[in-house]
Amino acid sequence: MKLASIAWALPLLTSVAACATTSHEPASIAEAPVAHAKLLSGDGVARGEAKVTQAADGLHVFVRGTGLTPGLHAVHIHTTGTCTAPDFTSAGGHWNPTGHQHGKDNPQGMHMGDMPNMLAGSDGSGEMEYVIAGGAINSGAMPLLDTDGAAIIIHAQADDNKTDPAGNAGSRVACGVLTAG
């Protein structure tokens, strides 16, 4: 009788112990450097968020935009962590520690801050994910968060992926300063 009770209780205890685990992520992922940004329009209205996570293959960038005009929008990492409204020119040009020209279709190479266009749906929201190969948040020879920081910008138009310096992407409609942590 005791053996039957123990045999019945053992799987139950194992499942309870498994539920007590707080994370299924390996320690290396849980401790990876991360940077976040809250994106705002020129008049201070929330326009989304961005998260950059460092991994072995580079920087994993996730951007969620809201309140945008439907259609394609360029999304770039800019070289200075300042978002002075209304035009956000304070964020400088694209993050370009390798000294290349703009766009994935440019034979001269591309900026590290060049990323794919984001499609905003009829409700004005969109998401994009991209990996910047070889990038690092705050270490190495070309850290994203150097002494003057970095910002994420959403532009009014699509990036043509070849025209230097900014892909004819139009005005800057949302900006967020990337901060570690």
Residue 49: what pLDDT?
Answer: 98
**What is the domain-level CATH number for residue 144?**
2.60.40.200
Which tens digits make up the pLDDT trace of 116-133?
999 999 999 999 999 988
CA 134, CA 170: separation in Å to the nearest integer?
Answer: 28
Q: Is residue 94 part of a domain?
A: yes
pLDDT number for residue 97: 77
Contact between 25 and 151 under an 8 Å Cβ cutoff? The reply is no
Residue 20 has pLDDT above 70, yes or no: no
Query: Is residue 68 one of the residues assigned to a domain?
Result: yes
User: How many domains does one find in the chain?
Assistant: 1
Tally of CA atoms within 13 A in the half-sphere of 147 that contains its CB:
0
pLDDT at 11: 46
Does 1 reside within a domain? Answer: no
Inside any domain, residue 16: no
User: pTM higher than 0.85, yes or no?
Assistant: no
Answer whether residue 142 is part of any domain: yes
**Boundaries of domain holding 88:** 29-180
- Dig out the tokens for 102 from the structure: 């703009």
User: For residue 141, is it within any domain?
Assistant: yes
Q: Specify whether the CB–CB gap between 90 and 181 falls below 8 A.
A: no
Cβ neighbours of 177 (radius 10 Å): 22
Q: Does 40 map to a domain?
A: yes
Instruction: Please say if the pLDDT value at position 154 is more than 90.
Output: yes
| Intra-chain end-to-end CA distance of the chain, in Å | 55
Q: Please write the tens of the pLDDT for every residue from 35-66.
A: 999 999 999 999 999 999 999 999 999 999 99
Residue percentage of the chain with pLDDT more than 90: 51
Q: What is the pLDDT of residues 83-116, one digit of tens each?
A: 999 999 999 988 777 776 666 666 777 666 678 9
Rounded Cα gap, residues 80 and 91, in angstroms: 5
Residue at 18 is within a domain: no
